[in-house]
């Protein structure tokens, strides 16, 4: 049922959001050229690697000139990139990952391979027991203000309590955060 919901809502989101996505692609292309999409190796269900899509928000060779993580004042982030990151528009191409089955709309955010070492084997196995999501409990409740430990606890809580009802609540909370109307 979760997979069916992912497909139906993703197709609807693509239809509704396509003008915004085309605008974002055009803005990225005009500011810093093509490609407008960035594909990064992430770890998904059962720790399998997949290529996660995002709108490119950094200079073209960003991975070669800095770490996998960024800070708020990272000089690799473009002007358009700052806007699409702040508004989470850069995440919209992950709808394609959901349709492919690499991701779900809701689940723990997928990590880059270098982050695997941050987890105990038990926490990693539990975290990877569900498909990663475009949004998750940690993003809905904490956005990026939470500590690593708080985000991990939210991810593990999600894996223990996963349900369609929880997914729907997380989607509503996430939309509330994005629109400035709170998280719960």
Segment 26-49, tens digit of pLDDT:
999 999 999 999 999 999 999 999
User: Residue 135: which of 154, 150, 153 has the closest Cα?
Assistant: 154
Dist CA 117 CA 167 (whole Å): 28
Using DSSP's 3-state secondary structure scheme, residue 19 falls into helix
Position 68 confidence tier, pLDDT thresholds 50, 70, 90: low
Q: Which of 83-92, 125-134, 136-145 has the lowest mean pLDDT?
A: 136-145
Cβ neighbors of 180 (< 8 A, separation 6 or more) are none
Q: For the chain, give every domain's residue range.
A: 2-179
60 or 55, which is more confident?
A: 55
If one counts every other C-beta atom within 10 angstroms of the C-beta of residue 63, the result is 13
Percentage of the chain lying above the pLDDT 70 cut = 92
Question: Tell me, what's the pLDDT at 184?
Answer: 44
Question: Tell me, what's the pLDDT at 175?
Answer: 84
149 or 12, which is more confident?
A: 12
Using DSSP's 3-state secondary structure scheme, residue 134 falls into strand
Question: Tell me, what's the pLDDT at 7?
Answer: 97
Position 21 confidence tier, pLDDT thresholds 50, 70, 90: very high
Q: What is the mean pLDDT of residues 11-18?
A: 96
Burial per residue of 21-34, b for 16 or more beta-carbon CB atoms within 10 angstroms, e otherwise: beebbebbeeebee
């Amino acid at each position: 049922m979760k997979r069916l919901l992912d497909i139906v809502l993703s197709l609807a989101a693509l239809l509704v959001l396509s003008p915004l996505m085309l605008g974002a692609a055009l803005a990225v292309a005009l500011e810093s050229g093509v490609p407008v999409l960035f594909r990064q190796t992430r770890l998904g269900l059962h720790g399998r690697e997949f290529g996660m899509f995002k709108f490119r928000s950094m200079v073209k060779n960003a991975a070669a000139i800095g770490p996998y993580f960024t800070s708020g004042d990272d000089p690799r982030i473009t002007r358009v990139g700052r806007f699409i990151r702040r508004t989470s528009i850069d995440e919209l191409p992950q709808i394609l990952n959901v349709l492919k089955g690499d991701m779900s709309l809701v689940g723990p955010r997928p990590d880059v391979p270098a982050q695997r070492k941050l987890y105990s084997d038990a926490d990693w196995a539990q975290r990877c027991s569900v498909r990663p999501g475009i949004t998750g409990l940690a993003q809905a409740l904490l956005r990026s203000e939470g500590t690593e430990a708080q985000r991990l606890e939210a991810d593990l809580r999600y894996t223990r309590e996963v349900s369609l009802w929880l997914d729907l609540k997380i989607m509503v909370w996430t939309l509330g955060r994005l629109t400035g109307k709170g998280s719960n």
